[in-house]
């Protein structure tokens, strides 16, 4: 029962989930792990990472989400996420380093800084920025972006990024000559400005309770409790399943060129996302249903030059027919070195 006969070299898992209206679906998830080669192709990793049933966090406090569950059949588009660290060529020290990621027609630019501070001058003299310290690396972490708790008291946190730094509800409350540590990753087109705060810049997964993801969770009020619970609210949006930053939610299928800059000590590199077609044949009583798996996630470990891609396929279950299991195979694979 419920087994996946895996005819691929990748990790697979079968799982049952319920949709927003409570109907059960059989899901086949596949995670493929690759090493990025210098020739622009990828090679199968000797160690294939298992399918993630549960979210992964940076620490036991679960303050920063590293990866969502790989079981996300209702996710509308592909989540592109990136981990690693900003690092100059040959790990040379830097105060400011441009970083960028290009996937097909999508491009994202950022700047990484060494630690830096803002001070308010006395009277109406304005603000001063203290020069960045030298560093050899800045982690691609939401803790390095604008946000966090109010730096000068109070219990408010920045809803777009509760674990960042450099945020305050009122910068005019800063005492003269009191330093405020600023974010170390920002958009070069929208630098920090106390009069017009930019949005935080990150490349990794967003927690379900953070904006802008939380807005898609729906309304959990008395009306929901009386007429809908425990089902999801009627205004729940499947967009909630998208854990990537909004600008990294993409329509990609594989085969797109990727360029990574400022995230590897060997320098910039380019590769092609592999293009793979997977098919699952699911046994439900006397029936055999054939369906293709859909790409739902791409994760680039930029500094390690590793790539993970996640596919899901799902079928609605019926009360009068049990699922016996699925067989998964690939119909086409391009852009992958097998040796």
Q: Give the span between the Cα atoms of 8 and 155, in whole angstroms.
A: 51
Average pLDDT, the chain: 94
CA distance 315 to 291: 8
Dist CA 32 CA 150 (whole Å): 41
The pLDDT score that the predictor gives to residue 122 is 66
Read off the pLDDT band of 1 (50, 70, 90): very low
What gap in Å lies between CA 168 and CA 178, rounded to an integer? 13
What share of the chain in percent tops pLDDT 70?
98
Write down the pLDDT at residue 339.
67
- A 10 A CB-CB count for 241 gives 19
First to last CA, the chain: 34
Task: Dig out the tokens for 143 from the structure.
Answer: 């803790």
User: What is the distance between the alpha carbons of residues 162 and 279, in angstroms, rounded to a whole number?
Assistant: 40
Q: Which long-range contacts (CB under 8 A, 24 or more apart) does 98-102 make?
A: 98/188, 98/261, 98/262, 99/261, 99/262, 99/263, 100/259, 100/260, 100/261, 100/262, 101/203, 101/258, 101/259, 101/260, 101/261, 101/263, 101/300, 101/302, 102/257, 102/258, 102/259
Taking the model in full, what pTM does it have?
0.95
How confident is residue 301, by pLDDT bands cut at 50, 70 and 90? Answer: very high
Q: Is the pLDDT of residue 170 over 80?
A: yes
């Amino acid at each position: 029962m419920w087994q996946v006969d895996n005819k691929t070299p990748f990790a697979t898992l079968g799982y049952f989930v319920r949709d927003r209206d409570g109907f059960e679906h059989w899901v086949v998830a596949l995670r493929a792990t690759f090493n990025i080669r210098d020739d622009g192709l990828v090679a199968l990793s000797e160690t294939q990472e298992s399918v993630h049933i549960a979210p992964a966090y940076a620490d036991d406090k679960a303050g920063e989400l590293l990866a969502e569950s790989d079981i996300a059949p209702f996710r509308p588009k592909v989540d592109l996420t990136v981990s690693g660290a900003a690092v100059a060529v040959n790990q040379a020290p830097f105060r400011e380093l441009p970083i960028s990621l290009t996937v097909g027609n999508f491009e994202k630019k950022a700047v990484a800084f060494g630690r830096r501070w803002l001070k308010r001058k006395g009277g109406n003299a304005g603000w001063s920025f203290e020069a960045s310290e030298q560093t050899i690396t800045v982690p691609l972490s939401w803790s390095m972006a604008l946000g966090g708790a109010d730096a000068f008291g109070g219990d408010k946190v920045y809803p777009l990024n509760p674990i960042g730094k450099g945020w305050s509800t009122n910068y005019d409350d800063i005492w003269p000559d009191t330093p405020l540590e600023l974010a170390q990753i920002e958009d070069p087109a929208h630098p920090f400005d106390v009069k017009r705060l930019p949005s935080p810049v990150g490349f990794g997964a967003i927690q379900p309770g953070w904006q802008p993801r939380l807005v898609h969770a729906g309304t959990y009020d008395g009306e929901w409790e009386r007429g809908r619970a425990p089902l999801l609210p009627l205004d729940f949006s499947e967009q909630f399943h998208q854990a990537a930053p909004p600008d990294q939610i993409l329509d990609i299928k594989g085969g797109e060129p990727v360029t990574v800059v400022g995230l590897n000590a060997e320098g910039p590199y380019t590769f092609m996302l592999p293009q793979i077609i997977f098919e699952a044949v699911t046994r439900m009583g006397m029936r055999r249903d054939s369906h293709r798996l859909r790409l739902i996630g791409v994760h680039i470990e930029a500094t390690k030059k590793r790539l993970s891609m996640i596919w899901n396929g799902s079928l609605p279950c019926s009360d009068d027919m049990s699922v016996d299991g699925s067989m998964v195979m690939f119909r086409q694979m391009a852009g992958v070195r097998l040796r």
